[in-house]
Amino acid sequence: MCADCYTDLVKTSRDIVARLSALREHRVTPDRRITITPDVQGAASELKKLERRLGGVAEAWNRVCPPHLVDRTSIESLARGVLTVRVADAAARFELDRALRSGAEQELVRVSPSGVRRVRLVAGVQGPAAGDLSGR
């Protein structure tokens, strides 16, 4: 191999290495830090909003609901004055319906700070994130 060819080859190799180095410096690499912090903060924010909206209603519900049924209920939502309460089973729903019709619903409307006008009962158990604010 001639000396000039070797020198040209080394120069070309150095140029290629320099160009690759420059490209590597400017390459955008994805952020490798994987964290759940934004998700947890978002969930905490939603729970705080839910607590502000339903916290007083949950306390009123715990005072008005018959003590033996409190553990079998969970507050689902409050929309347009209608408090939706999930009841564990049909027997508890029937018993709670009788209690509400005999004056517990009027008492809840009176003591509730959030403008509850009526109570809607829904039978069936939902998952652990069902919005259980019954104080269990």
The pLDDT tens digits of the residues spanning 30-74 come to 667 778 888 899 999 988 887 777 778 888 888 999 999 899 998
The CA radius of gyration of the chain, in Å to the nearest whole number, is 32
Residue whose tokens read 């978002």? 42
Of 110, 106, 112, 131, the closest CA to residue 56 belongs to 112
- Nearest CA to 116 out of 73, 67, 46, 59 is that of 59
22 alpha carbon, distance to own chain's centre: 45
Q: Per residue in 64-104, pLDDT tens?
A: 999 998 999 988 888 888 999 999 999 999 999 999 999 99
What pLDDT score was predicted for residue 35? Answer: 82
Q: SS3 of 82, please?
A: strand
Ordered by start, the domain boundaries in the chain are: 3-123
Any idea of the CA torsion for 84, 129, 133, 46, to the nearest 10 degrees? -90
Assign 15 a pLDDT band (cuts: 50, 70, 90): confident
Residue 24 pLDDT? 78
Which pLDDT value is given to residue 111?
Answer: 86
Instruction: State the CATH class of domain 3-123.
Output: alpha beta
pTM of the model: 0.58
Q: Which residues of 122-131 are buried (b: 16+ CB within 10 A; e: fewer)?
A: eeeeeeeeeb
**Cα–Cα dist 83/71, whole Å:** 17
Q: Return the pLDDT at 134.
A: 47
Q: Does residue 25 register a pLDDT over 60?
A: yes
Band of residue 136 on the pLDDT scale cut at 50, 70, 90? very low
